[in-house]
Amino acid sequence: MKTINSVIFGLAIVGAAFLLGNAYIQRAETHGTIEVTGLGTVDFVSDLIVWQGSFEAKNENMQQAYEELNNNKEVIKNYLASKGITADEMVFQAINTGYLYEDNYSPEGKYIGQVQIGYRLTQELIITSTDVEKVEKISREVTELLNQGIKFYSYSPSYYYTKLADLKLELIQKATEDAHTRAEKISQNSGSKLGKLIDARMGIFQITGQNSNEDYTWGGAFNTSSKNKTASITVSLEYQVK
């Protein structure tokens, strides 16, 4: 009986030793993780400009207002052509028709409403060009049309970039390299070794004006008012460490 008890006791010790050894191996094989965020930024200059303006004609007769507006359009086209704007770069929008009113009063001076006295026709012009400097210069000089009797209302140009796809790839590469460098530095400082990459997430693509105080937004900022811009993106990487 003692022999049987000894055998059982011995097997229990062996089993316990196996479990403890297996637990140690699992504990030794368990890796921690480290998550870092890298930033990629690129400064660039816009290569596409969109400039808008409008002009109008007023007359008590609609047909005469239309003829005046059309005459103004031809003067504007010739002026812009003389400045180097091609026909393909100019797009004249549809004419908008409005009415002119004046206040109406009774002989006693009491206000009794408005009465239509004519028509106001407006037309908008959109210029799109890759010659950014040329259009910028014209947008500043367009008041010269006043010398020809035309009131041209000019809006601030908008600036865009036609190679955003390539720019995003460059940003992702920079942000990924920055995150990897941070992860290696942290693992070295903690006395561990960087393992394999187990997760990667890309942040929001942002475009802001250079040297501006614009805030980033959750949906992504997209500046169109500045010719010189800064694009940025973040990439979060998670590595095993051992």
The domain covering 30-45+163-241 belongs, at the CATH homologous superfamily level, to Protein of unknown function (DUF541), domain 1 (3.30.110.170)
CA dist 154 and 7 (Å) reads 100
Rg of the chain, C-alpha, whole Å: 36
CA dist 173 and 169 (Å) reads 6
Residue 25 has pLDDT above 80, yes or no: no
% of residues, the chain, pLDDT over 70? 87
Residue 68 has pLDDT above 60, yes or no: yes
Q: Residue 31: what pLDDT?
A: 61
CA dist 231 and 204 (Å) reads 11
Confidence of residue 5 (pLDDT cuts 50, 70, 90): very low
Which of 122-136, 190-204, 207-221 is most confident?
A: 122-136
Q: Residue 223: what pLDDT?
A: 94
Residues 115/102, Cβ–Cβ less than 8 Å: yes
In which residue ranges of the chain is CATH 3.30.70.2970 found? 48-160
Per CATH, the number for 48-160 is: 3.30.70.2970
Mean pLDDT, rounded, for 84-91 = 96
In which residue ranges of the chain is CATH 3.30.110.170 found? 30-45+163-241
Q: What is the DSSP string of 53-104?
A: EEEEEEESSHHHHHHHHHHHHHHHHHHHHHTT--GGGEEEPPPEEEEEEEEE
Tell me the pLDDT of the chain averaged across its residues: 86
Give the 3-state secondary structure of residue 7: helix
